[in-house]
Amino acid sequence: MLTYSFEDIGKVSLYEHLYKCIKADIISGKIKPNEKLPSKRAFAKNLGISVITVENSYEQLIAEGFVYSAEKKGYYAADISSFNAPTEFFSSASSASEGRELSFSSNTRDNDVSQSQYSSDTKDSKSPHSLKEEGIDIQKPSLLADFSSNETSPENFPFTTWAKISRSVLLEKQTELLTNSPSGGVYELREAIASYLKAFRGITAGPEQIIIGAGTEYLYSLIIQLIGFDKLYAMEDPGYSKLSKIYERYGIKYVNIPIDKNGMTEAGLRKANADCVHITPSHHFPTGITMPITRRMELLKWAIDGKDRYIIEDDYDSEFRMSGLPLP
């Protein structure tokens, strides 16, 4: 049975350490493709840890596509050997450490939802705000679930923390606040993002490789200029509909490629003869699909098999997970 040491693991949680150990053994081939992994209870007993620790580790590996489960049979290692991916694909020192990759950061995904029920095309219509001033109270209907985008629940926003930090910045950074920011974004923010990427995502990138932008539309326009206007861009179908409008505005040729249960397919890309592909692998928009590691490797293989091929990864909402670590 698999055995791992839990001594001197520092501040890393038990389940995260176990997840990393199993993941490393699957990548190295120590754990063979389709090899059955120990049951949660037997594994926990052998390692002297709780069952929930093993379960959390398995769930994280399943989310990333390194492990799959079969009903009433157990857990198995996924077959990632057939793609012959270079080891650097799994290295924490990714291509960003060699200065070949820029990370673009946007605060929000632009609202892509139709007008609310309170909007009207008539000239004389009144907004909820003006109606409230006249003493007419308009309440939103009670909903089981609200799937509207680009909104934040007031109950979950840390107003106290936000106010404290805002006061501190206003008192201590008065000169900086009135100084024009660099075109790439405030350096301190880019440093903070670089530190976060290293600590939580295993990505080694310097502040000079990170660009802060005011919304996805602006950032996409920069990417188009960097990659080229003469490329054929592939998009997920279904996918982020505003992206096609941005491409059309810049006269870019694009093709929609249907996704399956694992996301964009390599076969679809090759058939379309695309030069670039825009994907949301960690949290597909709008289905929420997570692309497994095997599919990601297929797309990487597509990129390295051709000349001047690019993958634009939109890390949309990847941080928002009910459990486990953010997906790499």
3-state secondary structure at position 76: strand
97 and 209 within one domain: yes
Q: Which is nearest to 262 in space by CA: 240, 236, 244, 241?
A: 236
What range does the domain containing 28 cover? 14-79
Predicted local distance difference test score (pLDDT) of residue 235: 94
Predicted local distance difference test score (pLDDT) of residue 74: 92
Pairing verdict, β 310-313 and 276-279: parallel
Q: Which is nearest to 262 in space by CA: 233, 278, 284?
A: 284
CA 64 to chain centre: 12
Predicted local distance difference test score (pLDDT) of residue 218: 86
Q: CA–CA separation, 313 vs 30, rounded Å?
A: 30
Q: What residues contact residue 206 under an 8 Å CB cut-off, 6+ apart?
A: 194
291 and 217 within one domain: yes
Q: CA–CA separation, 128 vs 109, rounded Å?
A: 25
Predicted local distance difference test score (pLDDT) of residue 109: 54
Q: At 166, phi and psi to the nearest 5?
A: -60, -45
Is residue 220 in some structural domain?
A: yes
| CATH code of the domain covering residue 23 | 1.10.10.10
Is residue 243 in some structural domain?
A: yes
65 and 31 within one domain: yes
* Helix%, strand%, coil% for the chain, nearest 5: 40, 10, 45
Pairing verdict, β 276-279 and 67-70: unpaired
CA 72 to chain centre: 31
98 and 20 within one domain: no
189 and 255 within one domain: yes
| CATH code of the domain covering residue 283 | 3.40.640.10
pTM: 0.63
Predicted local distance difference test score (pLDDT) of residue 80: 81
75 and 93 within one domain: no
**End-of-domain residue from the set 62, 79, 96:** 79
pLDDT in tens, 271-304: 999 999 999 988 888 888 888 888 988 999 999 9
Q: Which two tokens stand for residue 247?
A: 């491409």
Predicted local distance difference test score (pLDDT) of residue 253: 94
Is residue 105 in some structural domain?
A: yes
Is residue 252 in some structural domain?
A: yes
**Count of domains in the chain?**
2
265 and 211 within one domain: yes
Instruction: Yes or no: say if 278 and 314 are a contact pair by the CB < 8 Å rule.
Output: yes
Q: CA–CA separation, 203 vs 124, rounded Å?
A: 53
- Pick out the chain residues at pLDDT < 50: 88, 91-101, 107-108, 110-128, 131
102 and 25 within one domain: no
Predicted local distance difference test score (pLDDT) of residue 115: 33
Predicted local distance difference test score (pLDDT) of residue 114: 35
Q: CA–CA separation, 89 vs 85, rounded Å?
A: 7
The helix (H) or strand (E) run that includes residue 236 is strand 232-237
**End-of-domain residue from the set 40, 60, 79:** 79
Predicted local distance difference test score (pLDDT) of residue 100: 41
Is residue 223 in some structural domain?
A: yes
What is the longest distance spanned by two Cα atoms in the chain?
74
Count the alpha carbons within 13 Å of 182 in the hemisphere toward its beta carbon: 12
Instruction: Yes or no: say if 274 and 310 are a contact pair by the CB < 8 Å rule.
Output: no
101 and 38 within one domain: no
309 and 244 within one domain: yes
Is residue 121 in some structural domain?
A: no
Is residue 173 in some structural domain?
A: no
288 and 254 within one domain: yes
Is residue 99 in some structural domain?
A: yes
61 and 99 within one domain: no
Q: What residues contact residue 101 under an 8 Å CB cut-off, 6+ apart?
A: 94, 95, 205, 209
Predicted local distance difference test score (pLDDT) of residue 136: 52
Predicted local distance difference test score (pLDDT) of residue 154: 82
